[in-house]
Chain A
Amino acid sequence: MDSKGTQLTIAEDTRPGSTLPFTQPVLQAKRLVKTYGKVVGLDGVDLELFQGEVLAVIGDNGAGKSTLIKCLTGAEVPDTGELWLNGRRVQFRRPQDAKHFGIETVYQGLAVSPALDIASNLYLGREIRRRGFAGTVLRMMDTKLMRANAKRELDRLGISTLQDVTVAIENLSGGQRQAVAVARAAAFGSKVVILDEPTAALGVRESGQVLDLIRRLRDEGIPVILVSHNMPQVFEVADRIHIQRLGKRAAVITPTSHSMTDAVAIMTGASSG
C-alpha cells in the first residue's frame, strides 16, 4: 500500500497532527466477514485505527458494531478477513491473544464476574503472584498489592463512590459495574482500548468522567475505539466516526465534515454520505 497516498476514500485527513504524512494504522481490519448461521453479522468490513485518535463506531441496533468489536479482539473469530497490528498480520483466536498485544476491551453487557470483588475482577486472568517461594512454588497471589493497585486505578478514573475494592461486583449498581469494566480496560490497555457502549448505564457526571478518560488515553498515545448510540458524546470526543450499517461500513466521517443529522442519515440509509 502506498504510504503517502490518500487511500482514505471518504474523509479528509483530520487526525490530530494531520500535518504528518499518513502513517500505518495501529489496528486495521480488512474485509471482515462473520456469519451466525444465516444471519450476516459482518459483511466485509474494513476498519482503520490510527495512533492518537478516538474512532467512534456508530450504527443502528443490529448493524454489527458489537460483532465488529468482538472480531477485532478475539472474542469471536471472523469467518474471513484479516487483522493487522502495526503493519503485522495477526490472528486472535481467543480474547487473551488480543490482550497479549495490549488491546483491552469493555464488551457490551460488561463481562465482569458478579461474585468476585472489584480487585479480583480488575486482575482476573492476570493475577499478580507474590515474590519468592510463596509466589513461584506455592503460586500464591499478592492480594494486597492487587487491591492497592485496583484502588489506585479507580481513583485515577475519579470513581469516588468505589472506595472498597473488596466489595463483590454484584453489590454494585449498573453504573458502578460499568466503571469497573472501564477501569480495567484503561488500566491494562497499553496499545489500544476498545469500549462498546461504556456509558450506557452511566449518569451524566460518570459519562463525563469516561469521556475524560478516553481523551486522556488518546493524549497518552493510546488510540481508542468507542461504540456509542449517544450522538452528542460521539461528536464531542471522536476524531473520526465509522458508520456501520447492515453489517457493512457505510462511511467514515469526521465531526467537522459532517453534522449529527448527516450521520443519522447515513446510519439509516437516507443518505450514502
Chain B
Amino acid sequence: MSPKSPQSSPATGASPASGTVDLATEFLDRSTPLGRVRNLLHRYPALSPGIVLIVSLIVFGIVSPRFFFANNLSLITQQVAVVGTLAIAQTLVILTAGIDLSVGAIMVLSSLVIAQTASQNHVPAVLALVLGLLVGLAAGALNGVLVTRLKLPPFIVTLGTLNVFLALSLLYSNSASVIGQDIPALITNTGNTFSVGGIGITYGVVIMLVLYIVMAFIMTQTPWGRHVYAVGDDKESARLAGISVNRVLLSVYVAAGAILAIGAWIQIGRADAASPNAGTDLNLDSITAVVIGGTSLFGGRGTIWGSLLGALIVGVFRNGLALAGLDVLYQTLAVGVLIIVAVSLDQWIRKARN
C-alpha cells in the first residue's frame, strides 16, 4: 500500500490515484456488514433466492402441517415442471439483456403440432415430437433473425411473434384442444409418476431437471456459455474481443426454441391435453421465475439454477398460501411483491459496482 496522496497525478492528468492499490480493501468493501452481504450476493446470484426458498419452506411448513405431505410436495414439483422449463429458455434470453415474451406461445404452438400430428395425422409419436422440436427451432430462429438482422429490440420482436404464434396456434387447431386419450402414450407419459421416497415425481419433472443440469453445464463450462454472458454484459466489448455477437444471439433464440419444444412435451403430459389456451400465464411466470432467481434484466449476470429456485419459490408461495386458506388473489399479490423485492435487490447489488 502506498500512502501517497491521491493528488499526485501524472502528466496525463487523468489518473485518480497513484501507487499500488490494495485489492482486498478495494473490491470487497468490507467496511460495513451490509457491504459484505452485498458483495456476497453479488458474487453468488443464486444465494438470495436460495435463502428465500428455504425460509418460505420453513414458514409454510409451520403454518400448514399438510405442506410437507408427500402428495403436496409432489403437486408442487408438477406445477413447477412447465414453468421451470420455460424459465431455462427465458434465462438464456435475459442473460443476453433481452426478453422473450413469446415463450408461452412457442410452447403452445409446438404442443399443438405434436398432439395434432400424432392424433389426427397418425404420425408416429417420436416423429410427432421431432416435428414439435422443429417448430420450436423455427420459431426461435424467427425471433433470433428479427433481433439480429433487423436490429429490433427483443421486447418488440417477441411481442409481435407472441401474437403471431398464438394466432397460428388458433388457426392450426381450429381453437380446439386435443385431449390426452387421442394422443399416443409416449407423448403423454411425461405426466406419469414414479415414487421417490413416497413422493410422486413425474417424468416431466425429471426431464426438466436433466435440462437444468445440461444447460447449467453448458453455461458455466463451455465457451458458448461464456460468450452468452459476455454478449449480455457488454455487446461492444464482446464484439471487440472477437466474438460474433449476432451468431451468439441467434443461437440463444434457437436454443430457447428447442427448450420450449421440450417444455411442450412436458405440458402435454401435465395437462393430459394440448390446448391453444394453455400458455397465457406462462410468459410472465417464466420471467418472474428468472427475475426472482437472481438473473439481472440488464443481462450478463445470473445463473441457470437460480431460475429453478425462482420457479420453486413461486410454486411454493402459491401452494403454501392456498394451503393456509388464503384466496388466490393473495397468491398473486405475494408473487407481485416477490418480483419487486427481487428487482430492487438486483438494483441494490448492482449499485455497489458503478
In the complex with contacts A95-B241, A116-B229, A170-B353, A141-B21 CB distance below 8 A: no
Q: Which residues of B have CB within 8 Å of A161?
A: 20-23
User: Using a Cβ cutoff of 8 Å, how many contacts connect chains A and B?
Assistant: 135
Interface of A is mostly: loop
B14 engages A201 (CB within 8 Å): yes
Chain B residues, CB < 8 A from A94: 239, 242, 244
> Min CB distance, A135 to chain B, in Å?
10
Contacts of A200 in B (CB 8 A): 12, 14-15
* Residue in B15, B21, B27, B43 with the greatest tally of chain A CB atoms within 10 Å: B15
A116 in contact with B20 (CB, 8 Å): no
- With A113-B237, A115-B229, A116-B233 known to touch, is A203 a contact of B223 (CB < 8 Å)? no
Render A124-156 as a binary contact track against B, CB cut-off 8 A, 1 for contact. Answer: 111101000000001111010000000000000
The smallest beta-carbon distance between A201 and chain B, in angstroms, is 6
Q: How far is the CA of A140 from the CA of B220 in the complex (A)?
A: 9
Q: Are A124 and B241 in contact (CB under 8 A)?
A: yes
For the complex, what is the distance from the CA of A139 to the CA of B239, rounded to whole Å? 22
* Interface residue? B150 (CB, 8 A): no
Say whether A95 contacts B15, CB under 8 Å: no
Contact with B240, one of A111, A127, A162, A230 (Cβ below 8 angstroms): A111
For residue B327, CB closer than 8 A to chain A, the reply is no
Cross-chain contact B242 with A99 (CB below 8 angstroms) = yes
Kindly report which residue of chain A lies nearest to residue B237, judged by CB atoms. Answer: A111
Interface status of B222 (Cβ within 8 A of chain A): yes
Assembled-state Cα–Cα distance A201/B229 (Å): 26
**B346 nearest CB across to chain A (Å):** 13
Residues of chain B with a CB closer than 8 A to A174's CB: 16
Interface presence of A87 (CB below 8 A): no
How far, in angstroms, from A120 to B220 measured CA to CA in the complex? 11
How far, in whole Å, are A53 and B56 apart by their CA atoms in the complex? Answer: 65
CB distance from A104 to the nearest CB of B (A): 10
Tell me, yes or no, whether A107 is within 8 Å of chain B by CB. yes
B226 on interface, CB distance cutoff 8 Å: yes
Given A163-B23, A207-B10, check contact A175 B223 (CB 8 Å): no
Any chain A CB within 8 A of the CB of B134?
Answer: no
A230 CA to B13 CA, complexed, in Å: 9
Q: Taking A167-B23, A200-B12, A203-B10 as contacts, is the C-beta distance between A115 and B240 under 8 angstroms?
A: no
Q: Are B241 and A125 in contact (CB under 8 A)?
A: yes
B301 (CB) vs chain A CBs: closest residue:
A115
Docked-complex contact B230 and A124, CB < 8 angstroms: yes
Which of A114, A125, A175 lies in contact with B353, CB distance below 8 A?
Answer: A114
Chain A residue with the shortest CB-CB distance to B4: A203
CA–CA, A75 and B240, complex, Å: 6
Per the CB 8 Å criterion, the residue count for chain A at the interface is 53
Q: Compute how far the CA of A114 lies from the CA of B300 in the bound complex, rounded to whole angstroms.
A: 9
- List chain B residues, Cβ under 8 A from A113: 229-230, 233-234, 237-238, 241, 300
Whether the Cβ atoms of A204 and B223 lie closer than 8 Å is no
A229, B223: Cα distance in complex, Å: 37
Contacts of B1-40 to chain A: CB distance below 8 A: 8, 10-12, 14-23, 26-28
B318 at the interface (CB under 8 A from A): no
Interface check A96, CB cutoff 8 A: yes
State whether A201 touches B234 (Cβ < 8 A).
no
In the bound complex, what is the Cα–Cα distance between A173 and B6 (angstroms)?
Answer: 14
Q: Flag B230-257 by CB within 8 Å of A: 1 or 0 each.
A: 1001101111111110000000000000
User: Is there a chain A Cβ closer than 8 Å to B227's Cβ?
Assistant: yes
Q: How far is the CB of B18 from chain A (nearest CB, A)?
A: 3
Minimum distance in angstroms from B240 CB to a CB of chain A: 4
Complex alpha-carbon distance, A75 and B239, angstroms: 8
Quote the shortest CB–CB distance from B173 to chain A (angstroms): 39
- Cα-based distance from A161 to B43 in the complex (angstroms): 20
Q: Is the CB of A124 within 8 A of B12?
A: no
Known A161-B20, A205-B20: A112·B12 in contact at CB below 8 Å: no
Could you jot down 24 A-B contacts, CB within 8 Å?
A75-B239, A95-B239, A95-B242, A105-B240, A111-B241, A113-B234, A113-B238, A114-B234, A115-B229, A115-B300, A140-B221, A141-B221, A161-B22, A171-B26, A173-B21, A174-B16, A175-B17, A201-B15, A203-B18, A204-B18, A205-B18, A207-B15, A231-B11, A232-B11
Known pairs A99-B242, A140-B221, A202-B10; list 10 more (Cβ under 8 Å): A113-B230, A114-B353, A116-B226, A116-B230, A120-B226, A161-B20, A164-B23, A176-B23, A201-B14, A230-B10
Nearest 8 Cβ contacts at the A-B interface: A203-B18, A171-B27, A125-B242, A96-B242, A127-B223, A111-B240, A124-B241, A111-B237
